[in-house]
Amino acid sequence: MTSPIDELDARLIAELRAHPRLGLLEISRRLGVARGTVQARLAKLERRGVISGYGPEVDPAELGHPIQAFVMFELTQGRLAEAVQALEATPEALEVDAVSGPQDLICRIAARDTEHLQEIVNRLLAADGIQRSTSYIVLSRPISPRVQPLVDAVGRAARAR
């Protein structure tokens, strides 16, 4: 199986992540390749799903929700759809992953304060399909969500082949 990206793709992704408002001409200049090459590579990465969006990153704390927590939910068997529906209707649920283990879902929740977090959890516990929860409040974020180190490693591995 071939790598999903090569070193040039990795450099292109790094430029887009570091400078999302740059035009293709400037990116091509920085990468030392033709504008058409950048445009074709970008289209290929989008088509293959490697690049999935260009939205701005938003800090929930700056929206008045400085408390973040990881909340694990145990579900009633066969009731995943109802739990997901309740979480989709909860704007403070920033991301949700179905996982293996004793809990079924891990959710990142943003809240105004701990009382608000408790209200959100209580509201979700009242939803069909959700039986129990465990919450862990985020104290700090030594490493922010990231993908660039992985992109760089995959690009280097492709070059080494």
**Domain range for residue 82?**
60-137
Note the pLDDT tens digit of each residue in 70-121: 999 999 999 999 999 999 999 999 999 999 999 999 999 999 999 999 999 9
Please give the model's pTM, rounded to 2 decimal places.
Answer: 0.82
Q: Please indicate, yes or no, whether residues 65 and 52 belong to a single structural domain of this protein.
A: no
Max mean pLDDT among 13-17, 57-61, 111-115, 141-145 falls in 111-115
In terms of domains, do 49 and 85 share one?
no
Residues 121 and 68 in one domain: yes
Do 65 and 94 fall into the same domain? Answer: yes
Does residue 148 lie in a domain region? no
Last residue of a domain, one of 56, 75, 93: 56
Contact 105, 70 (CB under 8 A): no
- Which helix (H) or strand (E) segment holds residue 116: the answer is helix 114-125
On whether both 85 and 52 belong to a single domain, the answer is: no
Are both 46 and 30 inside the same structural domain? Answer: yes
Residues 72 and 132 reside in one and the same domain: yes
CATH of the domain at 21: 1.10.10.10
pLDDT at 57: 84
When divided into structural domains, the chain yields a total of: 2
* pLDDT of 47 above 90: yes
Give the CATH number of the domain where residue 126 resides.
3.30.70.920
- pLDDT tens digits for range 133-152: 999 999 999 998 889 899 98
**For residue 2, what pLDDT is reported?**
59
pLDDT score of 1: 46
Please indicate, yes or no, whether residues 64 and 42 belong to a single structural domain of this protein. no
Please tell me whether residues 50 and 64 are part of one structural domain: no
Summary mean pLDDT of the chain: 93
Query: Can you name the residues that pair with 106 across neighbouring β-strands?
Result: 72, 97
Task: Bin 45: left if φ > 0, else alpha if -120 < ψ < 50, else beta.
Answer: alpha
What does the alpha-carbon distance between residue 82 and residue 76 come to, in Å, rounded to a whole number? 10
